[in-house]
Amino acid sequence: MFKDVNRCLDDILKYNNIRKILEIGLPFNNISESLIKTSSNFELYLNINPINSEDKINDGNLRFYKAECNSAKSKSENVKYWYQVPDILRLLENNDFDVIFVHIGKDNIDVILNDFWHFLKCGKFIIFSDFYLDQEMPTITKEDIENLPSINLNGVFDYFEIKNENKKFLFIQKGNKTYPVKKSPEFFSFDRQIAQKINIKRLDHLASLGLDLYKKKVLEVGSGIGFLTKFFEKLNCNILSTEAREENYLEHRIRYPYRNVEFADLSQIDSHEKFGRFDVIFCYGTLYHLKDPSLCIKILSEICDKYFLLETCVNSIDNDDINLVLENTSDFTQSFTGLGCRPARDWILKELKKYFPYVYITKTQPDYTDFCTKWPNKNTKLANTRAIFVASREPLNLADLSEEIVNIQTRISDI
């Protein structure tokens, strides 16, 4: 039993290299201030709660957002859930946190763990506060946490609490469970730094659009060796990844043995029907490696119930054609048949409109050189030009989507 709980908390965190802090459930308070002061290498403090006085206040590395942090709780009309606020989603997707500090009641522990566990760095802590012992709340054990319904906390290796006469903090430490991977030279095109940079920028842009992607059933096609899948894992989605190149398919399964990955070729008309239906089809970096992009769109549209998310290399001029090209079969990021395409933006919009009532191109582009902002693109130095499309079964009233071709786009800035 500790008389000075806050001081004990500071001592515990002082030696755990706290750089990034997420606090949910209460506005900035004395505990928040203490957490920041404890960290000598402080980089980011993010606060999410439904009673902030303003929708958002950004002050350098201190970020405050008004949003409901409990996805199972009803919200007032003027408050969004955390995953409906693009800036919150961008910050959560782009950062792994050293401490997640939670102020809630016992009945909501499973929901909070489900929603935020993926944003916690391995080896670090989720801390639950406001467990008032004078309310005769039952003591929570490690077994209680691990046995919560619909949650998988593989790698939890420690649990402890600190308390005084009227308050306690419950610590849950995330384990360092990793899967050793020997990187083969064949996959250098995926692993190199430039490839990782474009992946980060693509996913950051996807988070900025404001689409409802939380807890959806997702089909990721052309998954390569699995670097983009994590975006949907962090949103607690049910994800199936497919890949047509056998080497990539096997490598994906080796690197991420806990994932659901299947071998499937989009050049075969019945390739994906057996997998059932999905809320979201995620087709990033795949269409332009196919010699028949219209077949791909047809196959995937027939099993899509909500959103078709498409990012692809495109022709620099809108010429309403698929524009076939040769690709290097020895490069595992390219077409294994040796024939791909660079479809024009107007062709893609027209093709998607055959199957979806609402089709959009983004007004914004990821902050990366391949995503040009002026069309037609006359920059001959670019190896690729890329564009992003969203097809939907329902109308989307989102600021960054346009139903017409956009010839002047803007890049999103870093958050």
3-state SS, one letter per residue, for 303-326: CEEEEEEEEEECCCCCCCCCCEEE
Q: Which pairs count as long-range contacts for 240-249, CB under 8 Å and 24+ apart, including other chains?
A: 240/275, 240/278, 242/271, 242/272, 242/275, 244/336, 245/332, 245/336, 247/186, 247/332, 248/223, 248/224, 248/332
Which tokens go with 358?
């609402």
Q: Catalogue the E-assigned strands of 112-175.
A: 120-129, 158-163, 168-173
| SS3 call for 378 | coil
Predicted confidence at residue 155, as pLDDT, reads 58
326, β-bridge pairs: 339
Q: CB of 313 within 8 A of CB of 384?
A: yes
Which tokens go with 154?
């593989």
DSSP secondary structure letter of residue 68? B
Pairing of strands 56-59, 158-163: unpaired
Q: CB of 24 within 8 A of CB of 69?
A: yes
Question: What is the distance between the alpha carbons of residues 218 and 221, in angstroms, rounded to a whole number?
Answer: 10
| SS3 call for 273 | helix
Q: How far is CA 94 from CA 110, 147, 199, 286, 352, in A?
A: 24, 29, 11, 23, 30
Say how many Å lie between the first and final Cα of the chain, rounded. 42
Contacts of residue 180, defined as CB under 8 A and 6 or more positions apart, other chains included, come to none
Question: What is the distance between the alpha carbons of residues 64 and 52, in angstroms, rounded to a whole number?
Answer: 8
Pairing of strands 158-163, 120-129: unpaired
* Sign (positive or negative) of CA dihedral 389, 80, 93, 414: positive
Question: What is the distance between the alpha carbons of residues 19 and 119, in angstroms, rounded to a whole number?
Answer: 14
Which tokens go with 355?
């199957």
Looking up tokens 């201030």 gives 33
The structure's pTM equals: 0.92
Selection from 323, 246, 244 nearest residue 288 by Cα: 323
Q: CB of 280 within 8 A of CB of 212?
A: no
CA–CA–CA angle 285, 289, 290 (5° rounding): 125
Predicted confidence at residue 73, as pLDDT, reads 76
Give me the amino acid identity at 31. Answer: I
- Write down all domains in the chain, each with its CATH number in brackets: 5-173 (3.40.50.150), 186-411 (3.40.50.150)
Give me the amino acid identity at 328. Answer: N
pLDDT in tens, the chain (415 residues): 445 666 777 777 777 788 899 999 877 777 777 777 777 778 999 999 888 766 556 777 889 998 998 887 777 778 899 999 999 999 999 999 999 988 876 667 778 888 998 999 988 888 887 654 455 555 555 666 666 665 555 556 566 666 666 667 778 888 876 666 677 788 988 989 999 999 999 999 999 999 999 999 999 999 999 999 999 999 999 999 999 999 999 999 999 998 999 999 999 999 999 999 999 999 999 999 999 999 999 999 999 999 999 999 999 999 999 999 999 998 999 998 999 999 999 999 999 999 999 999 999 999 999 999 999 988 766 678 999 999 999 999 999 999 999 999 999 998 8
Q: CB of 297 within 8 A of CB of 341?
A: no
